[in-house]
């Protein structure tokens, strides 16, 4: 895998940072696409013995994503692995939700998948090899309140994964999704604290999930070994959802 370049969106923090570190340890060059500074992630990438770059981008802006894709190709070469990881999850009851709230979450969690995948797919197709991994969530199967808009986006991720997997299979490209359980990250920190107690108790493995618990599954899905796995959603969630 040493010649390959992987893009991980939203990897300046949280789960994405864990992904970037693992991919670097596996010998990939990692491009972190985030609106925030990725210095801490790049330090982890370096510590893992790998190479990486950070590119500042607003994933909701197609022009910004196109410019970022060009910058990545110029600096480290065209990526053959794209991890659509960035996501937001403001907790708000549906009846208090404005249409602007609704649009804002779809902009990041769904529309950005369109912009990012459109930007990087042509090079994968030209190389006749590619791996796309998208982030869903096990919350789509849980009775949690205040996440109607979030759950709608994470179901959309699964539809996108299944549809695209079929369209690009003939080009050696696989498309899969990972559905994690709850992990404490800057994003989830803002949500209800009670979730951190309750959710692990619903899992078969009764401890809070860490970013490192997800990284091995990502490493498999982007490997040559996973060439015959596509269109799937892998629940990496301590055995909470049985799908």
Ligand X SMILES: NC(=O)c1ccc[n+]([C@@H]2O[C@H](COP(=O)([O-])OP(=O)(O)OC[C@H]3O[C@@H](n4cnc5c(N)ncnc54)[C@H](O)[C@@H]3O)[C@@H](O)[C@H]2O)c1
**Beta carbon nearer to ligand X, 3 or 100:** 100
Q: Which CB, 197 or 225, lies closer to ligand X? A: 197
Q: Sign of the C-alpha dihedral, residues 181, 185, 177, 162?
A: positive
Site for ligand X in 77-116 (CB under 6 A): 85-89, 108
120 CB-near residues (< 8 Å, 6+ apart): 7, 69, 78, 79, 82
Catalytic residue numbers, as ranges = 150
CA distance 57 to 64: 6
Q: Cβ 1 to ligand X, closest distance in Å? A: 23
Please pick, from the candidates 34, 44, 111, 213, the single residue that binds ligand X as defined by CB under 6 A: 34
CB-CB contact of 171 with 125 (8 Å)? yes
Q: How far apart are CB 126 and ligand X at their closest, in Å?
A: 26
Q: Does 233 bind ligand X (CB under 6 A)?
A: no
Count, residues in the chain: 243
Is 71 among the residues that bind ligand X (CB under 6 A)? no
Give 214's contacts (C-beta < 8 A, 6+ positions apart). 15, 18, 19, 178, 180, 183, 236
Contact between 54 and ligand X by CB under 6 A: the answer reads no
Q: Contact 4/26 with Cβ under 8 angstroms? A: no
Minimum distance, C-beta of residue 139 to ligand X, in the bound complex (Å): 6
Is residue 16 a contact residue for ligand X (CB under 6 A)? yes
Q: How many residues bind ligand X (CB under 6 A)?
A: 28
Q: Is 58 in the site for ligand X (CB under 6 A)?
A: yes
Q: Would you give the DSSP letter of residue 26?
A: T
**At its nearest, how many Å lie between ligand X and the CB of residue 45?**
15
Is residue 180 within 8 A of residue 211, CB to CB? The reply is no
Q: Which of residues 110-139 bind ligand X (CB under 6 A)?
A: 135, 137
Which residues contact ligand X by CB under 6 A? 10, 12-16, 34-36, 57-60, 85-89, 108, 135, 137, 180, 182-183, 185-188
């Amino acid at each position: 895998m040493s010649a390959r370049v992987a893009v991980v969106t939203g990897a300046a923090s949280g789960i994405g940072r864990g992904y970037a570190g693992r991919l670097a340890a596996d010998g990939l060059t990692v491009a972190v696409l985030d609106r925030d500074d990725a210095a801490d992630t790049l330090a982890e990438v370096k510590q893992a013995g790998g190479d990486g770059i950070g590119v500042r981008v607003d994933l909701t802006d197609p022009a910004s994503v196109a410019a970022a894709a060009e910058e990545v190709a110029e600096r480290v070469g065209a990526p053959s692995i794209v991890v659509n990881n960035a996501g937001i999850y403001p907790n708000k009851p549906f009846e208090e939700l404005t249409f602007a709230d609704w649009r804002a979450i779809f902009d990041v969690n769904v529309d950005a998948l369109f912009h990012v995948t459109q930007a990087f797919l042509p090079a994968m197709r030209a190389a006749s090899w590619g791996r796309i991994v998208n982030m869903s969530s096990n919350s789509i199967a849980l009775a949690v309140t205040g996440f109607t808009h979030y759950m709608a986006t994470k179901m959309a991720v699964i539809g996108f994964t299944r549809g695209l997997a079929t369209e690009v299979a003939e080009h050696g490209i696989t498309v899969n999704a990972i559905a994690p359980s709850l992990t404490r990250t800057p994003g989830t920190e803002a949500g209800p604290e009670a979730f951190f107690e309750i959710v692990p108790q619903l899992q078969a493995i009764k401890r809070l999930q860490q970013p490192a618990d997800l990284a091995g599954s990502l490493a498999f899905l982007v490997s040559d070994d996973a060439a015959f796995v596509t269109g799937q959603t892998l629940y990496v969630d301590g055995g909470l959802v049985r799908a």
